[in-house]
Structure formats: C-alpha cells, structure tokens
Structure 1
Amino acid sequence: MSEPEVAARGSAALLGPAEVRDLAQRLGVRPTKQLGQNFVHDANTVRRIVAAAGVGRSDTVLEVGPGLGSLTLALLDVVDSVVAVEIDPVLARQLPSTVERRAPELADQLRVVEADALRVGSADLPLRPTALVANLPYNVAVPVLLHLMAEFPSITVALVMVQAEVADRLAASPGGRVYGVPSVKAGFFGTVRRAGAVGTQVFWPAPRVDSGLVRIDRYVDPPWPTDAEHRRRVFAVVDAAFAQRRKTLRAALASWAGTPAEAERKLLAADISPTARGETLDTAAYVRLAAQE
C-alpha cells in the first residue's frame, strides 16, 4: 500500500506526547528496562512504519508489544485486523479501551492476546497473521523476531523497529564487521534490508541509542527446506561457526562435526574452504553445510 492510500483512510486519533504521558500516569505505568518498554509518541513515525510495511486492508497484522497503542492506532487505520500480543497485563487490558475511545469505528478490528511473544504459538492467536509490524522490546528483539518468523509461516512480510545496532546486524552482508548469527538466521526466512532510521526523540522515555527499521520479505519460493528440523540443523551450524568466529571453520566446527578432520570433509563437500571463517559465508552456504552427512 502506498503512503497516499494510508493517509486517505485514516480516522483514528493518534497518540501524541501529552496523550502518552497522561495515559501512562493514569494507569500507573512506569516503563521498565526489563520489558524493554519505550513508547512511541510521534504520529509521523508510526505512519512511516506502517507505510514501510506496505500492509493493506486484506492483511492481518501481528503487533508485538503494542504498549499504549500508538502504532496500533496507525495500523488500524490501514488494515482490517490487528492481533496485538502484550505481556504486560495492565497494558493488555487498557488497549481495547484506548482504541474504543480514539477510534470507535475501528475497535472491532482489534484483538488483544496477553502473552509472552517468545512463547506464543499459532494456537494462541485468533487469526492467522500475514504480516508482523512491531516496535520490538529492545532486550529480546532478535529472539522474538526469529521465533515469530519460524512459528508463523503465514507472515509474508515483517517490518520491525529495533536498536540501530541490531538493525545493522540483521541486515548485514557477509564479510562485514557486524555480520553474524542474527544476519544468517534472518536470511534463512527471506530477504532482509534496512528500511529507515528512527531517532531517540520520538520515544518516551527516550532511549540512549537510535533505532532502525528492518524489513524481511519472506521467500515466495524458498530456496531450501523450511521445516523445523531442517531449520534446527542449519541454526546449529551457524551457532557453532560464530561461537569461535576468529577461528577457521575447520577448527570452529570441530565439535559440531566430531573432529577437525570431519569438519574439513563436510566443508569441502559443501564447496567451502576449511580455512574460511564464519563471517564470510552467506545463509545458502550454511544450508549446504548443514545438509552434509
């Protein structure tokens, strides 16, 4: 969906800085680092996130950590269904009331699930999501993202806001300084790219670091098997390779393969140099390596 279409439908009264603070005070909510809570209070930012996701009326959006509802309201302006997963019981109970008050005509499009996003499964959601759009809790952003992409293959696009450093890692290319486990694992599900930068001033409380938007477009025709067992094997190789990233793969993968010699055999069979290091391989190379018997 284009930005003009997003603007044309909008009817929700979005939350601003004063509304966010007043609502938090009324609820007795004090943002905690433990839950990674930083609430967005800038209407232009949430509209930009929704536009970058490209979601439309036919989408069912999964939102994680909706907080006070800033992004939720912007999403409801554009899509017909939002399933919001919130771990904080106070915030989970309040969100429907906030939507009812600020956008009553959109209230029946929201469903709230009080749950931990790291443990939520398909049986916990009332609808099958087609997109993930979220300001992810900073302290668990990567595990949550990978869990949801694995748990819900119906998600065709993910647009998440994370710490800028984490965004760089997720979207990094092989050989770069920040390329690592998150880069390879995110690339297992689809194409990953940076989708924008977000400063600290749009949050309350303001975080100490900038944020970034990351978009994952799931492969329409996956280039490799995507079942849980195959993913587990691939991720095990990735974890082993980066656990000792300064070592050659022959040495780093010795425990995974059983011996350095066996690691070398598997690497050569996968057309990978035993003297290469983990940060030089793309996701496809790790998939080939995991397939070696």
Structure 2
Amino acid sequence: MSSTDPTPQSDSHLLGAADIRELAAAFGVKPTKQRGQNFVIDGNTVRRIVRAGGVTAEDSVVEVGPGLGSLTLALLEVAAHVTAVEIDPLLARHLPTTVASRMPEKAKDFDLVLSDAMEVTELPGPAPTALVANLPYNVAVPVLLHMLQTFPSIERTLVMVQSEVADRLAAKPGNKVYGVPSVKANWYAEVKRAGAIGRNVFWPAPNVDSGLVSLIRRDPPKTAASRAEVFAVVDAAFAQRRKTLRAALAGWAGSPAAAEEALHAAGIDHKLRGEMLTVEQFAAIAEHKPEAAR
C-alpha cells in the first residue's frame, strides 16, 4: 500500500447482527411494530447511507429514530456533529453509552433528544445541515415534512423509508403514484430515489422492501400565497384524485364555478386532475382563491 492510499476503515466499532441482538437482550429491548422499529445490522449498509447522504466533515447531522445506534455510529465516523432524536425512553437511555463505549473520541460530538420528532422545534448543538435517518415507516412522511419545515438550515436529506413511500416522494407529475407527499416534498427540495435496501439487513426483517430518498433543499416556488395556503390546495386536489380539478376544488373555492374561475385565472385547464400539476401550478391556484372563500 502506498502512502497516498486511504487508510481502510475498521468495522470494529460498528454494530453487526450479533452486536444488535446482544445489546437488545442486555437492554431488554423488544422491537415494536407500533414504532416501526427495524434495526439495521449491516455496517456496509449504514456506510452506504452516509455516502448517499453526501455527509462531510463539516456537517452537523440530525438523525431521527436512531434505535440501537447502527446508523449513528456510521454518521459519527464522518460528520462534525450528530444529534439523534429518539422517542423510545429505553433506547434513548442507552444510546449515549453505546456511542461512548464504541467511539469514545466522538462522544463529545453527539447529542441525544428524547422526544417525538413531530414535536421537536429546536436542537442542541450547531444548526443541522443534513438529515439522515432510517425513518419509522408508519410516520415517515409527516416526520420528514416537519423536519424540513422546522429546520431550514437542513440542506441535504437522505432517508430510508418503505419502498412504496420512496416512490411516492420521488414521483413526478403524471406518475400514477404522484400525490400529496410528492408535491409537499417538492416544495422544499429536489427529490429523487437514491437506491434500494434489501430486507435482510434489518432485525427484525420487515415485511416490505425499503428505498433511499435524496432531497436537496431548494427555494420554494415564488408565490404570494403562503405555504399553508398552497398545501390546502394540494390536500383538496388529491382528496378526490379521480375527479377533475373543477370538482375536487369546489369545496376549497366555495363552488365548482368558483373553482373553475380560480383555475382559469391561474392558467390551468379545469378538466385536469391534481396528479398532472407541479408544485408551482398549485401555488398559482392558491394565489387566486376567491375572496368569498377566504
């Protein structure tokens, strides 16, 4: 090996399958479906997630649902600082000890917040520049949107979610799975699929495949309407996704005729369905909500 070759990283501090089971038994942890707990047991997978997230030595990363610490340790290999948000008191109590015992030199760069991620409004340490997480599948979309809205300093996001959810998040207008998650995620970021993850890297193994989704922060559409006003149009348009926009937005606008008028003012064919519109077009509709319906 020449002096210019990178030093191989040791896996000794990462958590493998035996380590995960040993820690779970020692802590009395029993993974629950209610909290979507499926722990990653493969070091190559967590390092792949860190790479896909573009994490650098300058990043302050927030991780949601760290569990026993598989991804946390891989993030600490690279990032300047990691803050983990964990809802389970048992897991939260033991994670700092795991970090301190396996990566003592990085313990000072780690913070833990015991909280429901949907209720987090501030974090210790430097402002987060990246969100990297194996999100609980049952709350993945609302948690993702909450974090993006609450922490505008997050520039890059890489989340592992159920494969179908990954498809929805990354879908483009006209795709059959394009819907509310697609539009709302695109308000904050450029979204794309970043790979697939097999079931065998988890314990317990989930009944569904997983997918990686990359989100790169961008400015929201330029519009006079607020985010809440735009999202209200999105929700209305997809609440009855088989209906034309004229019919689907009737309640939002006050009547089918008023919806048609708003759509015409926004330059959008009232016969289209919501699945054909970009986030910019939804923003244009929001700007033309009839005064009587405000």
Q: TM-score, normalised by structure 2?
A: 0.93
Pair 1:231 & 2:231 matched: no
Structure 1: 5+ residue runs without aligned partners? none
2:239 corresponding residue in structure 1: 243
Contact 2:221 2:279 (C-alpha < 8 Å) held by counterparts = no
Corresponding position of 1:36: 36
8 A Cα contact 1:200 1:207, kept in partner: yes
Which amino acid is 1:206 matched to? A
Which position in structure 1 is the counterpart of 2:292? none
Aligned length: 285
1:289 aligns with 2:251: no
Aligned residues of 1:40 and 1:70 also touching (Cα < 8 A): yes
Q: What SS class does the counterpart of residue 272 from structure 1 fall into?
A: coil
Q: Which residue of 1 aligns with 2:200?
A: 201
Greater Rg over alpha carbons, structure: 2
Cα–Cα, structure 1 residues 23 and 225, in superposed 2: closer, same or farther, change >3 Å? farther
CA distance in 1, matches of 2:124, 2:83: 8
Equivalent-residue separation in structure 1 for 2:12 and 2:215 (angstroms) = 27
The residue number in structure 1 matching 2:89 is 89
Q: Which secondary structure state, in structure 1, belongs to the residue aligned with residue 157 of structure 2?
A: strand
- Displacement of 1:177 in angstroms is 1.1
TM-superposed CA distance for 1:128, in Å, is 1.2
1:241 deviates by 0.3
What whole-Å deviation, never above 9, does each CA across 1:25-53 have from its counterpart, x for those lacking one?
11100000111100001000000000001
Q: Give the Cα–Cα distance (whole angstroms) in 2 for the partners of residues 178 and 201 of structure 1.
A: 26
- In the TM superposition, what is the alpha-carbon distance from 1:127 to its structure 2 partner? 3.1
2:79 alignment partner in structure 1: 79
- Residue 263 of structure 2, aligned match among 246, 267, 275: 267
Structure-2 change in CA distance of 1:55 and 1:192 (3 Å): same
- Partner AA of 2:282 in structure 1: Y
- Counterparts of 1:130-209 in structure 2, within 5 Å, are 130-209=129-208
Whole-angstrom CA distance in 2 between matches of 1:8 and 1:292: 58
Pick closer, same or farther for the CA change 1:209–1:239 going to 2, 3 Å.
Answer: same
> Sequence identity of aligned pairs in percent?
61
Secondary structure of 2:195 counterpart? strand
Q: In 1, are the aligned partners of 2:145 and 2:184 still within 8 Å (CA)?
A: yes
Cα distance per residue 1:190-226 (max 9 Å; x no partner): 100000000100000000011000010001x443259
Contact 2:223/2:283 (8 A) holds in 1: no
Q: For 2:207, give the aligned amino acid.
A: R
Q: Which amino acid aligns with 1:240?
A: A
TM superposition shift of 1:12: 6.5
The answer to whether the 8 Å contact 2:187/2:221 transfers is no
8 Å contact from structure 1 (residues 194, 213) kept in 2: yes
Task: Name the residue aligned to 2:217.
Answer: 218
Quote the Cα distance in structure 2 between the aligned partners of 1:168 and 1:222: 21
Q: What CA RMSD, in Å, does the superposition of the two structures yield over aligned residues?
A: 1.8
Q: Secondary structure at the match of 1:96?
A: helix
Q: CA deviation at 1:7?
A: 7.5
How big is the shift at 1:284?
A: 1.0
CA distance in 1, matches of 2:126, 2:253: 41
SS of equivalent residue, structure 2 residue 78: coil
1:61 aligned counterpart, secondary structure? strand
Deviations 1:121-156 (A, max 9, x none): 02x444311110000001100000000000000000
Assess if the C-alpha contact under 8 Å between 1:47 and 1:74 holds in 2. Answer: yes
CA distance in 2, matches of 1:125, 1:248: 47
Please tell me whether the aligned partners of residues 266 and 289 of structure 1 are also in contact (alpha carbons under 8 angstroms).
Answer: yes
Equivalents in 1 of 2:88, 2:148: separation in Å? 22
Q: Deviations over 1:43-76 (max 9, x none)?
A: 0000000000101111100000000000000000
Conserved? CA contact 1:6–1:77, under 8 Å: no
2:113 corresponds in structure 1 to: 113
Q: Is the 8 A contact 1:167 1:194 kept in 2?
A: yes
Q: Distance in 1 between matches of 2:79 and 2:9?
A: 10
